[in-house]
Amino acid sequence: MAETKNTGRGIPKTRLDYNDPMLLLEVEGLARDGYDDQQIAEILNVAPETFSKNKNKKQADGSKSLLSISLTKGRRPLSVLVENSLYKRAIGQKVVTTKVVTKREYNDQLGRYETNIYDEITETELPGDVNAQIQWLKCHKPDIYNVQPIKVDVTSAGNELKETPRIGRIEHVVIAADQVKTSSGEDDFIQPAPARTRVA
């Protein structure tokens, strides 16, 4: 990854291989942690000017350097990347796979078998994932889709509830009482279920 060269004067200079995947991963992590270019250069023990020069250097095909790409990837908000992948998984997506296939075919002109190599391209439609859809809706419309079940105390006997129930669907009702008033106003006592005994 790094090669240190001592010139005999001052601080030894560090030469980095800016195409090394481990170095690029480290740079991406430092950028994600919020370090700027100068701080990253100091951590890697290189001059900020050298770091900047290698960052701005173009590749042979004219595209950005791998160092610049790593810095950009590290500085992109991670939550946006996760949100985008969750969104793609929720709505479904097309996946293109390429498989190398070898076929042995008879050539009539040559009078012998030949091995031919083909690229078989398959396009698959992945359906939307229901769990990802649920997560997406709960995060983006919590007032509608993130409704907690309402617990209703039916024994309040006209007293005000301490907590006002949220509007939403009722999934279950909790009755924690020995006595429930009926609509006629009379007290109905709930008889406990008889204990079942098992004779062996």
Specify the pTM. 0.39
Query: Do 180 and 124 share a structural domain?
Result: no
Average pLDDT of every residue of the chain: 76
Cα–Cα distance between 142 and 136 in angstroms, integer?
Answer: 10
Strands 13-16 and 93-107: unpaired
H-helix segments, 5-127: 21-32, 37-43, 48-56, 66-75, 78-91
Q: What is the pLDDT of residue 174?
A: 46
Within 10 angstroms of residue 40's Cβ, the number of other Cβ atoms is 22
Query: Do 45 and 23 share a structural domain?
Result: yes
Q: What is the pLDDT of residues 128-140, one digit of tens each?
A: 889 988 888 888 8
Query: Do 71 and 106 share a structural domain?
Result: no
pLDDT above 70 covers a percentage of the chain that reads 67
What is the domain count for the chain?
3
Q: Answer with the one of 91, 112, 128 that is the final residue of a domain.
A: 128
Cα–Cα distance between 129 and 121 in angstroms, integer?
Answer: 24
